[in-house]
Structure 1
């Protein structure tokens, strides 16, 4: 009925952090000039789109300066 408690060797878990493989991965292939140019072009396109959207959106975010006077005159007329 009673289970015997035996120590479980968890030393293999501690060794897993220090394990070094003797198999080296293959070297990374260098990107071609066309791939590098494509990455730069994509990045510049994204940045230009973000800057353009901010520039085009600025007038919509700006509060007009002449409208508060017109609203106050309309409210006084009631």
Structure 2
């Protein structure tokens, strides 16, 4: 699967599409994230928060991945 994104001045020349939600009847694609949070040094909750925001956007406006919804399984731990 190839994903393209237009940036800069050429954006106005791109074809606009209608946002569609992912098909919840299809089996989801599971992405697992292992992240360190809650430690005095090296805590990165922003990574998990950013991935969750991206997952929501992909599912709501891009139809998921190949029509399938994307799920995020976060494994958060400290050292």
TM bin, normalised by shorter chain, reads under 0.3
Choose 1 or 2 for highest CA Rg.
1
TM-score, normalised to structure 1, is 0.28
Q: Which structure has the higher relative contact order (CA within 8 Å, separation 6+)?
A: 2
- Flag the structure with higher helix content: 1
